[in-house]
Structure 1
């Protein structure tokens, strides 16, 4: 497989310390490989099968989207419910348009909520969640928003009556990985150490480690299991799948559609979709050709200040598409 050579070269150049790659097919076939290091410092640790990666924003589609749609299937929510229906204390005593924003708009990143804010500097735990609900967020043009998914995480906790960290997860996915079995991320200047088995995203850490926008960890096999379930129609009902793939600009619900400059590569089929995560992780699905792939790396180790891995993702995606088709 040409992908191995591409990844070995990227590791040799120092683009990423290590990489776990896998491809799954709708007919049940699966291939995978693990290369390089799970940790470079303070001492080198080889990357092996079973290593947990910080999935960062893959939390959005693989957990939050799935759990929201599952709640819709069970009659607990509707995608067009306004947030205030389930979060009645939202902006209490304030007349603010956020109250009328729908679950669908947050899932599709069309609510106009800001992309990001350093909310970890505001507080932590329940106090921080309360402030997120009371803050008069400015609404502007639609943009990819961590804030929207933080609110969706709080909504899910309210609907299910338990914290996100207690939600049942498929094998290979967790909010609490064993540190010694996890790929290292950044030498965090805020926490003063190399992070291993602890969520890299500062806002997710302040929210308790499990949030709607980040916090999920997964092994390659665990992630591939979810991708194969999607391809085989076992992830959601057919009705939920069709609603999930309703276009909203360059996005579906929770996912990014193929478009010019897409990280999944220009040779993917037109109906392809995927998602990336800040730590260096990514997943892409090509339902038309019946395959999906995951590239999990710890690109932010030991620092986030390094070149983009978008060219690496595109090289892998294009090479794979050429081989499969």
Structure 2
């Protein structure tokens, strides 16, 4: 039934749009349909992509790890989405002033806190503990709502503070990890700063500098692991019914809690159901969940390999695959 979508992914590899791709679809109560194509690495030597290889999920960390972890804090009575950041991290902005401490967990989750999109923490030249302290004390200038890695870094610190343990120590289901076996990992980019091709090490420079696991990046996953995480949300087993309803609810504009909802031109295509949630990662990853039609799909690629500066756009492929699946499953 999904042959057209699988063919689109395979053709993208054959045309050289991406070195490799792992693609799969899952429905409740059914075995996933999966396939992988192409290479896990081109340089310095060609390595075939295997079904159980780990991909650097990049910003899928936000929605597959950080958002559920924050909602579990709420479920456990340790936090509320509308409480200010200063309740959990009282030292935030203490030296530099500003309004960051008044921003709520909900605002951080929905990218509406007004934080900048990015800052090169990895160039600040300190160890993870000092970088985390400086992240809290930096006088961030708040402005208009903007998609922000910094907000999710702060959410990662909230999780660590309330759980009393590093993010990497949090339990994860099979197929998701912050410390993959490099020999079973897909390569991302040759990093001039680190002087090597990243394989089994987080691609995101700031997550690397923060110790490898952060609220915005650092999670690795196999195709099966990502599909299982998506299925748990689709079937309602990942969170309580109340938390899942809050996760799916429209929050602001095109956003749910962390996830994107369908909008004109978005990555999941134009034919999916209105309540579909999806998210992408900079390394070339993506996952989408169509709750109304009852299926989820993931397209994991290594499009930044060997360089982000030479890769081809992925959005046309993502939208084409999403539309092919929506057309097929709507007829099922």
User: Which TM-score applies when normalising by structure 1?
Assistant: 0.98
* Partner residue, 1:270: 274
Picking from 86, 103, 106, the partner of 2:105 is 103
- Is the contact between residue 250 and residue 256 of structure 1 (CA under 8 Å) also seen in structure 2? yes
| Cα distance in structure 2, aligned partners of 1:279 and 1:12 | 19
Alignment map for 1:1-325 (pairs within 5 Å) = 1-122=3-124, 123-247=126-250, 248-305=252-309, 306-325=311-330
Shift of 1:27: 3.5
Stretch of structure 1 that moved more, 227-236 or 23-32: 23-32
| Cα distance in structure 1, aligned partners of 2:64 and 2:151 | 16
Q: What are the superposed Cα offsets for residues 54-94 of structure 1, whole Å, 9 maximum, x if unpaired? A: 00000001000010000100001111111110101111244
Stretch of structure 1 that moved more, 6-15 or 125-134: 6-15
| Cα distance in structure 2, aligned partners of 1:85 and 1:214 | 24
- Is the contact between residue 303 and residue 312 of structure 2 (CA under 8 Å) also seen in structure 1? no
- Is the contact between residue 28 and residue 228 of structure 1 (CA under 8 Å) also seen in structure 2? no
| Cα distance in structure 2, aligned partners of 1:317 and 1:129 | 38
Q: What are the superposed Cα offsets for residues 232-277 of structure 1, whole Å, 9 maximum, x if unpaired? A: 1101101001111221211000100100010001111111110000
| Cα distance in structure 2, aligned partners of 1:5 and 1:25 | 20
Stretch of structure 1 that moved more, 88-97 or 303-312: 88-97
Which 4+ runs in 1 deviate beyond 6 A?
A: none
Aligned length: 325
- Is the contact between residue 7 and residue 19 of structure 1 (CA under 8 Å) also seen in structure 2? yes
| Cα distance in structure 2, aligned partners of 1:198 and 1:173 | 14
Return 5+ residue gaps in structure 2 as ranges: none
The residue matched to 2:118 in structure 1 has which SS?
coil
| Cα distance in structure 2, aligned partners of 1:271 and 1:243 | 13
Q: What are the superposed Cα offsets for residues 163-215 of structure 1, whole Å, 9 maximum, x if unpaired? A: 11111101000000000000000011111111100000000000000000000
The residue matched to 1:299 in structure 2 has which SS?
coil
Return 5+ residue gaps in structure 1 as ranges: none
The residue matched to 2:70 in structure 1 has which SS?
helix
